[in-house]
Structure 1
Amino acid sequence: MPQLNPSPWFFIMTISWLTFSLIIQPKLLAFITTNPPHSKAPKTIKTTPWTWPWT
């Protein structure tokens, strides 16, 4: 069965992985995010328990 032969597919996967890791990924990581995270204190919301009319 030709689909079990790893020879051509392993080479294609290796070249694709190296292309992504060495060329594309550093270019993507170089972008500055448009909304940088802020160190704000999280809001604490005071909740009241629900009053059920039948209890």
Structure 2
Amino acid sequence: MPQLNPSPWFSIMLLSWLTFSLMIQPKLLSFPHTNPPINKTQTIAETSPWPWPWT
């Protein structure tokens, strides 16, 4: 069954992942973020219990 033969496809997959990991990924990570995260203080909203009519 030729579909189960990993010989040609495994090397292609391995080569593509190595290319991505060693060449493309560092270039992508060096770009600055367009919206850098900022530290915001978390505000806690005042909540009141809901007046359920059946209680």
TM category (shorter chain) comes to 0.7 to 0.9
Partner of 1:20, secondary structure, is helix
How many residue pairs match? The answer is 55
TM-score normalised by L of structure 2? 0.85
Q: Specify the code of the residue in structure 2 equivalent to 1:12.
A: I
TM-score normalised by L of structure 1? 0.85
Unaligned runs of 5+ in 1: none
Unaligned runs of 5+ in 2: none
Q: Deviations over 1:18-45 (max 9, x none)?
A: 1110111111111111111111211111
Q: Specify the code of the residue in structure 2 equivalent to 1:47.
A: T
Cα distance in 1 between the residues matched to 2:54 and 2:5: 70
- Computed over aligned residues only, the root mean square deviation of the Cα atoms, in angstroms, reads 1.1
| Identity fraction in percent | 69
Following TM superposition, the consecutive aligned residue runs of length 4 or more in structure 1 with deviations greater than 4 angstroms are none
